A and B are shown apart, each in its own frame.
Chain A
């Protein structure tokens, strides 16, 4: 979807090693397991922590706040486009529904779709990349050419095609977003696998008579987990951006269901009427959510680099 996303495979390695300035110092200051080391250096990263706190607040806002804050989020009525005031802290939309309540509803859907897409993407991408990278030869060529072909089509072209077929549902949106997101993960995991395949312990498993599948699922996949987790974090951010864009192009969830992108694009119809409460709150929430996942992903990647440097 976005440029940096499509560049991620090439961002790995040297280019990123330079991007973790505090790397050396952090690495020498701590001892312990690799995982603990990663977590330690993650929590030393200020932006990563800010991202984590932002994400927790967003989760509370979307999933916990509706238990406290009750409002009409579904039924259309005549109190339309009311400015923020008593009863409606953020006003009402073009159908008289409470915006604050709908933002919470939209948050649930956006976060569920984002996280579910990231999980599916990760599973497909990891398996695809690990199998292609480990088995190599013709299998690798065929599998990676398929990835190349799909990467040559701009995401939006595939998304619009898929979305014109059915009425959008949450499951369909998850499927659609996953279908265009797994490619980057597959490339990344394949690259990792190629380097892991040559390691001593993989050869040792082979000598001891371990099957190739065993090597893939017991050794290759667990060792790519770091890269995969980082990628998954960026995928959530990206999925939420895609979802918002689909909403803007009119392929979001149908009302009364709410997603931030559709709410935002609905508000844009009133761009010249000064109804700011229809636009800024939804836009701000999208930006904050995407930002929080990007902060977390960046911090995780730096933390992982620290771990790899120590190896």
Chain B
């Protein structure tokens, strides 16, 4: 674009825009580097924790195996090597060979376990997360508008109650109500190796997804209410009201966008909690995802599998936070130019 022919305010605007791009790129590069360091840190911590666990060789090879068989297992899995050698080999294997190792217990690689079960967990966690957000936003705005009236207080009481229920107990209550007494939905999650098999039994998906949605909603709801109240208190809302705009336009056009901006950050920060609730929900409903795999792997001392799952979840958390931060900077012009 030929700069000389443009009016000064447009020029100024493009100058700001290119400056903004530079700042954003620098910001994103910095955040990506930070994320890589955090992911390595997660691996280091899980490795330290794992080195505290008892040596699994005897349990894996079997109690009737000879000592030389146990020694062979230890040697082939490098369990006798120093801590940092093992750590470096794992990193090397993951980063340069894209290999997460081989399960001690199941006759398959950790990569194939993850490839099979991660999509299923993503369906459960993803659907529940989206549902929770789409419920929390309008309800939060409703509460902000009807602040301190009976409707607001009823919702607050309900979400307080939800928030105080352990995830598994809420699931048990759902099972008792909808499976045991009403016979509306099955108590067990759909079973099957492929995602197609899981999706072909939608009735069985209802209770696990409902459980996780309610747990996530309880976490978001208190934040959404105060975020909406804050957005309502902004000067531009008063200006819009003074201009005589209708309540609808003010709420949906001016306030919604502003109440939405923090949601990106909330969701990013809440991801570890969402995964925790996801794992418990999987364990409770016997959902064949990576959460159940993780519990089984720990019980059976299948450490490569447990470590691989932790790595995937940590990367998902880190990427989620990264996207949330970038989205925040892109969405909010006040952040952008400061």
Q: Which residues of A contact B (CB under 8 A)?
A: 1-7, 10-11, 14-16, 18-19, 21, 145-146, 148-158, 160-162, 164-165, 237, 241, 244-245, 248-249, 261, 264-265, 268, 271-272, 279, 283, 286-287, 290-291, 294-295
A160 B294 Cβ-Cβ under 8 A: yes
Q: Which of the 9-residue segments B13-21, B47-55, B71-79, B102-110 touches chain A?
A: B47-55
With contacts A152-B314, A161-B46 taken as known, whether A6 is within 8 angstroms of B161 at the C-beta atoms is: no
Contact B37 A145 (CB under 8 A): yes
Given A7-B270, A165-B52, also A153-B42 (CB < 8 A): yes
CA distance A148 to B219 in the complex (A): 20
User: Cβ of A249 and Cβ of B53 under 8 Å apart?
Assistant: no
Cβ-neighbour of A6 out of B37, B233, B270 (below 8 A):
B270
Which residue of chain A is the closest to B227 with respect to CB atoms?
A: A15
The smallest beta-carbon distance between A297 and chain B, in angstroms, is: 11
13 contacts between A and B (CB under 8 A): A2-B215, A4-B163, A4-B222, A10-B265, A11-B226, A145-B37, A148-B41, A149-B41, A152-B38, A154-B313, A158-B49, A249-B283, A271-B176
Give residues in B with beta carbon < 8 Å to A: 34, 37-39, 41-42, 44-46, 49-50, 52-54, 147-148, 160-161, 163-169, 172-173, 175-176, 180, 215-216, 218-220, 222-223, 225-227, 229-230, 233, 262, 265-266, 269-270, 272-277, 279-280, 283-284, 294-295, 298-299, 306, 310, 313-314, 317-318, 321
- Closest beta carbon of chain B to A233's beta carbon, Å: 13
- Do A154 and B279 have beta carbons less than 8 Å apart? yes
Q: Are A161 and B53 in contact (CB under 8 A)?
A: yes
Give chain B residues whose Cβ lies under 8 Å from the Cβ of A157: 46, 276, 279, 294, 310, 313
Are A161 and B298 in touch, CB under 8 angstroms? yes
A18 and B49 contact, Cβ closer than 8 Å, known pairs A154-B273, A157-B294, A248-B166: no
With A154-B275, A248-B168 already in contact, the answer to whether A10 and B269 are too (CB < 8 A) is yes
Choice from A21, A152, A290 contacting B272 with Cβ under 8 Å: A152
Find out whether the CB atom of B276 lies under 8 angstroms from the CB atom of A271: no
Residues in B whose Cβ lies below 8 Å from that of A268 = 172
Task: Given A10-B269, A271-B176, A294-B163, decide whether A161 and B38 contact each other with a Cβ distance below 8 A.
Answer: no
Contact, CB under 8 Å: A6 / B295: no
Q: Which residues of A contact B222 (CB under 8 A)?
A: 4, 11
- Which of A18, A158, A286 has a CB less than 8 Å from the CB of B169? A286
B266 and A21 within 8 A (CB): no
Q: Is B310 in contact with A153, judged by CB distance below 8 angstroms?
A: yes
| Interface SS majority for chain B | helix
A3 with B216: CB separation less than 8 A: yes
Minimum CB distance partner of A164 in chain B: B298
- Give, as a whole number of angstroms, the nearest-CB distance from A273 to chain B: 11
Closest-by-CB residue of A relative to B153 is A47
Whether the pair A291, B164 counts as a contact (CB closer than 8 A) is yes
Known interface pairs A3-B216, A3-B218, A261-B166. Does A291 touch B160 (Cβ–Cβ under 8 Å)? yes
| Known pairs A7-B266, A156-B276; A287 contacts B164 (CB<8 A) | yes
How far apart are A286's CB and chain B's nearest CB, in angstroms?
6
Q: Which residues of B contact A156 (CB under 8 A)?
A: 275-276, 279-280
Chain A min CB distance to B86 (Å): 16
Contacts of A158 in B (CB 8 A): 49
Residues of A within 8 A of B169 (CB): 244, 248, 264, 283, 286-287
A15 CA to B46 CA, complexed, in Å: 35
Q: Whole-angstrom distance from the CB of B219 to the nearest CB of chain A? A: 2
B162 → A minimal CB distance (Å): 10
Residues of B contacting A271 in the complex (Cβ-Cβ under 8 angstroms):
172, 175-176, 180
Q: How far is the CA of A151 from the CA of B38 in the complex (A)?
A: 10
Q: How far is the CB of A167 from chain B (nearest CB, A)?
A: 12
Instruction: Please indicate the chain A residues that have their CB under 8 angstroms from the CB of B163 in the complex.
Output: 2, 4, 294
Lowest 3 A-B CB distances belong to which pairs? A3-B219, A149-B41, A290-B164
A6-B269 in contact given A162-B49, A271-B172, A294-B160 (Cβ < 8 Å): yes
In the bound assembly, the distance between CA atoms of A268 and B175 in angstroms comes to: 11
**Residue picked from B169, B172, B215, B321, most chain A C-beta under 10 Å:** B169
Q: Chain B residues near A2: list those with CB within 8 A.
A: 163, 215, 218-219, 273, 277
Residues of A within 8 A of B216 (CB): 3
Query: Would you call B276 and A1 a contact (CB within 8 A)?
Result: yes
A6–B53 contact, CB under 8 A? no
- In the assembled complex, the Cα of A4 lies from the Cα of B219 at a distance in Å of 5
Q: Is the CB of B166 within 8 A of A18?
A: no
User: Of all chain A residues, which has the CB nearest B321?
Assistant: A152
Q: How far is the CB of B192 from chain A (nearest CB, A)?
A: 24
Cα–Cα, bound, A119→B142 (Å): 38
Given the interface pairs A2-B219, A3-B273, A290-B164, the reply to whether A161 lies near B226 with Cβ below 8 Å is no
Q: How far is the CA of A233 from the CA of B163 in the complex (A)?
A: 15
Q: What separation, in Å, do the CA atoms of A6 and B280 have in the docked complex?
A: 17
A15-B227 Cα distance, complex, nearest whole Å: 6
Once the chains bind, are A152 and B317 in contact (CB under 8 Å)?
A: yes
Contact of A153 among B272, B284, B306 (CB under 8 A): B272
